[in-house]
Amino acid sequence: MRHRLHSKDLSYDEILGLLDRATGFLKTVRGRERLNLAEGKILATLFYEPSTRTRFSFETAMLRLGGHVISNADMGATSSAKKGESLFDTAKMVSTFADVIAMRHPVAGSVAEFSTGSSVPVANAGDGAGDHPSQGLLDLFTVQQEKGTLDGLTWVMVGDLKNSRVVHSQCTYLAHFKGNKFVFVSPEALKMPAEIVESLRAQGFEVKETEDLESVMGEADVLSDTRIQEERFASPEEFKKYFGVYVLTPALMAKAKKDMIVIDPLPRVNHIDPAVDNDPRAKYFAQAEYGVAMRMAILAELLGL
């Protein structure tokens, strides 16, 4: 039995395998079809933190594979966690009912802790500011589909790079590919963690850091946008210092390459002007469709299908 807990656990070949498998599932997703690969199998989605895309995406993926879903979108308030049940015991229980589990939790490391009690595979659906392995994979899949390659691209990552588990996951995966350059754009207090920057540089990647998005828009092949995440700040006052610091506008898009693409895990919280939505380079809604295909690939792999 294997879990999908950390982006760093995947090898280059495993990433390529999942990208290939997801490509095969795109037709099913776009055709809104249902396979019978996972017939009789049950996915449990346990979310201790809010979600729109990730939970519905995992559930849609399981239903399109032909399986079934049991779900709790508010575990902290409505499961026996509220009565004090441990993550280990919850895992023991839920893995009695389900064949695979997707779990989100606000505390980094808690999905791994949960997995120690599970007798079935567990997929990390986001743990605090730690990791979001399935999102990182669907982001790579989006870029591969839209740009035709994952090598030799300049990635401009902007926003709360300190707390965004999504950009952390992207960097971990991208380190397997050749010739990419990284430009990290954030306020000084929300910089990409030093260990990620140092690790990329030690592996030979060019990394630039700046607070000025406008000055680097023209360099991007991929703009990996992230919101400033209120839930990661110690106080509303601290969050307000950074809210609205980067807003993607048509004026900024005009400075970018004609074939640049914008990806973003969303939700949108003031950081993308809706006027950008109709720009053909904006791929943040298309990402949701790629995400279902990638999560079909992840679930199929975890279930040994």
Catalytic residues: 53-54, 83, 104, 132
Q: Taking CB under 6 A as the rule, does residue 266 contact ligand CP?
A: yes
Q: Taking CB under 6 A as the rule, does residue 265 contact ligand CP?
A: yes
How would you class 38 by CB atoms within 10 Å of its CB: exposed for 0-12, middle for 13-18, buried for 19 or more? Answer: buried
Residue placing its CB nearer to ligand CP in the complex, 51 or 210:
51
Q: Taking CB under 6 A as the rule, does residue 232 contact ligand CP?
A: no
Residue of 191, 51, 73, 49 whose CA lies nearest to 127:
49
Which tokens in the block code for residue 96? 């009695």
Phi, psi values for residue 63, rounded to 5°: -65, -40
Least Cβ distance, residue 141 to ligand CP (angstroms): 14
Least Cβ distance, residue 64 to ligand CP (angstroms): 18
C-alpha span between 186 and 156 (Å, rounded)? 11
Q: Taking CB under 6 A as the rule, does residue 130 contact ligand CP?
A: no
Q: Taking CB under 6 A as the rule, does residue 7 contact ligand CP?
A: no
Q: Taking CB under 6 A as the rule, does residue 71 contact ligand CP?
A: no
Dihedral (CA of 280, 282, 288, 291) sign:
positive
Of 134-153, which residues contact ligand CP (CB under 6 A)? 135
Candidates 4, 81, 123, 126; binder of ligand CP (CB under 6 A) is: 126
Q: Taking CB under 6 A as the rule, does residue 159 contact ligand CP?
A: no
Q: Taking CB under 6 A as the rule, does residue 119 contact ligand CP?
A: no
Dihedral (CA of 254, 255, 261, 262) sign:
negative
Q: Taking CB under 6 A as the rule, does residue 208 contact ligand CP?
A: no
Least Cβ distance, residue 131 to ligand CP (angstroms): 12
Dihedral (CA of 226, 228, 229, 232) sign:
positive
Angle value at C-alpha 130, between 182 and 103, nearest 5 degrees? 125
Least Cβ distance, residue 104 to ligand CP (angstroms): 7
Interface residues with ligand CP (CB under 6 A) are: 51-54, 126, 135, 265-267
